[in-house]
């Protein structure tokens, strides 16, 4: 934890330095915010009530500087889960043009584990209870080697306390790595090329990010493994507010990976309709495409389709066996100037479905 405190202090110092360097009180944009109560149902949480919101502004007057934001969320569910999260992303317009994204999450989850693999069967009691804390941060510096190319580092720390295995047959015999919880901690590298015209509702250009992180005992981790994540997004403006968005997402791990950190299929952003973690393995690959249109006043709609799967190795994916996901959603423009939307999606998979409620688009 000492290393975590040192890193936080360094990041805070950097952020203050560049915020002050770039400040021009006559031109800096005012702080905007959007807060809302929420009630929703997802496969992961069941029925939940809470509140969410976002504080956002531009940290300088540089032309083309993207808005910085701090997204907040807290909820409690009917099956006694709770979650608190603070998700800041800062764009500093100083000479180094720094991007800093972080995640602070504390939650109690009633999750599910069906085993490892892309064809795990239903079991009588897949649930388990976990208390989870995650701190993640990434800092990217503009290189000047290519347009909007940032290179930097990432750090992640998680504390995972499995408080009740609930007679889950995959966990009670303690043969699965991570069945008794534990810490993960590690550093890695970051590469970003972000040419999107808007971070909240992109309509053209592309986004590409690669993260490589190495967990190990030298950083206080109970597990030694590596993870690489590649995220490529492309946006097409067809005219008259018709937008097509596409994403390819790849995650691969190797080493002693605890089951709760294995790449997982499902959730609110990728393969919507599947319970997050219904299928887990050392690699996950998915592709999705979404049609977006703001129709009338502040109301819009989307339709999406995706396919993907998990596998033991990257060379073991079988596209003919990929699972599918499809659905529709509604949008409400909370801030028309910044193109910030509230979204509600309903997704369907094979014999499964889910409803999702959030700020911003899925990707």
Phi, psi of 57 (to 5 degrees): -165, 175
- Per DSSP, helices labelled H in the chain are 2-21
pLDDT of residue 146: 81
Residue 64 has a pLDDT of: 80
User: Above 70 in pLDDT, residue 4?
Assistant: no
pLDDT tier, 53 (very low <50, low <70, confident <90, very high otherwise): confident
The pLDDT of 193-209, averaged and rounded, is 95
Q: Which residues contact 224 (CB under 8 A, 6 or more apart)?
A: 215, 216, 217, 255, 256
Report which DSSP code applies to 121: P
Query: Mean pLDDT across the stretch 283-289?
Result: 98
Paired residues of 68 in beta bridges: 57
Q: What is the pLDDT of residue 77?
A: 93
* Continuous segment of H or E residues that includes residue 17: helix 2-21
Q: Who has greater pLDDT, 46 or 86?
A: 86
User: In this predicted structure, what is the pLDDT of residue 30?
Assistant: 83
Q: Mean pLDDT throughout 350-357? A: 89
Lowest-pLDDT range of 14-18, 166-170, 248-252: 14-18
pLDDT digits (tens, 9 = 90+) for 262-271: 999 999 999 9
DSSP 241: T
- What's the rounded Cα separation, in Å, for the pair 115 and 170? 6
pTM reported for the whole predicted model: 0.86
CA 355 to chain centre: 17
Full domain range(s) for residue 321: 2-359
Tens-digit pLDDT profile for residues 287-330: 999 999 999 999 999 999 999 999 999 999 999 999 999 999 99
pLDDT digits (tens, 9 = 90+) for 203-259: 999 999 999 999 999 999 999 999 999 999 999 999 999 999 999 999 999 999 999
3-state secondary structure of 20: helix
- What does the pLDDT read at residue 29? 61
Burial zone of 262 (CB within 10 Å; 0-12 exposed, 13-18 middle, 19+ buried): buried
Cα 41 to its chain centre, rounded Å, is 19
Name, in order, each residue with C-beta under 8 angstroms of 130's C-beta and a sequence gap of 6 or more: 108, 109, 111, 160, 161, 162, 163, 181, 260
How large is the average pLDDT for residues 15-37?
56
Compute how many other C-beta atoms are within 10 angstroms of the C-beta atom of residue 174. 9
Most confidently modeled range among 122-131, 229-238, 337-346: 229-238
Is the pLDDT score of 332 beyond 90?
A: yes
pLDDT confidence of residue 24: 41
pLDDT at 9 > cutoff 80: no
Q: How many distinct structural domains can be found in the chain?
A: 1
pLDDT for res 42 = 74
Is the pLDDT at 18 greater than 60? The verdict is: no
pLDDT at 331 over 90: yes
Q: What is the DSSP string of 277-310?
A: TSEE-SEEEEEEEEEEEEEETTEEEEEEEEEEEE
Distance (Å, whole) CA 161 – CA 147: 43
- The better pLDDT of the pair 189, 23 is held by 189
Residue 72 belongs to a domain with what CATH number? Answer: 2.40.160.50
Query: What is the average pLDDT score of the chain?
Result: 89
pLDDT tens, 147-161?
A: 889 999 999 999 999
């Amino acid at each position: 934890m000492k290393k975590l405190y040192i890193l936080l202090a360094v990041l805070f110092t950097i952020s203050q330095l560049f915020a002050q360097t770039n400040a021009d009180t006559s031109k800096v944009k005012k702080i905007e915010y959007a807060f809302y109560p929420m009630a929703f149902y997802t496969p992961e949480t069941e029925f939940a009530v809470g509140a969410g919101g976002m504080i956002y502004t531009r940290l300088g007057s540089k032309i083309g500087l993207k808005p910085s934001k701090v997204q907040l969320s807290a909820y409690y569910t009917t099956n006694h889960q709770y979650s608190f999260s603070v998700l800041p992303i800062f764009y500093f317009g100083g000479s180094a043009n720094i991007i800093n994204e972080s995640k602070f999450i504390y939650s109690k989850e009633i999750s599910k584990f069906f085993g490892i693999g892309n064809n795990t069967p239903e079991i009588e009691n897949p649930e388990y209870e976990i208390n989870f804390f995650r701190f993640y941060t990434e800092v990217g510096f503009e290189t000047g080697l290519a347009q909007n190319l940032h290179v930097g580092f990432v750090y992640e720390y998680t504390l995972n306390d499995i408080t009740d295995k609930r007679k889950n047959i995959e966990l009670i015999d303690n043969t699965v790595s991570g069945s008794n919880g534990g810490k993960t901690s590690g550093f890695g590298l970051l590469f970003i090329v972000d040419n999107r015209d808007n971070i909240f509702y992109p309509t053209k250009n592309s986004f590409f990010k690669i993260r490589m992180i190495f967990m190990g005992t030298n950083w206080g981790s109970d597990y030694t493994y590596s993870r690489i994540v590649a995220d490529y997004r492309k946006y097409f403006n067809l005219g008259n507010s018709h937008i097509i968005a596409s994403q390819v997402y790849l995650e691969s791990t190797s080493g002693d990976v605890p089951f709760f950190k294995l790449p997982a299929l499902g959730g609110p952003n990728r393969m919507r309709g599947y319970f997050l973690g219904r299928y887990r393995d050392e690699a996950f690959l998915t592709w999705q495409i979404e049609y977006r249109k703001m129709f009338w006043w502040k109301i819009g709609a989307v339709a999406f389709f995706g396919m993907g799967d998990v596998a033991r190795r990257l060379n073991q994916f079988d596209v003919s066996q990929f699972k599918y996901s499809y659905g529709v959603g509604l949008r409400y423009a909370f801030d028309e100037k910044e193109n910030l939307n509230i979204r509600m999606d309903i997704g369907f998979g094979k014999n499964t479905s889910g409803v999702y409620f959030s700020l911003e688009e899925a990707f």
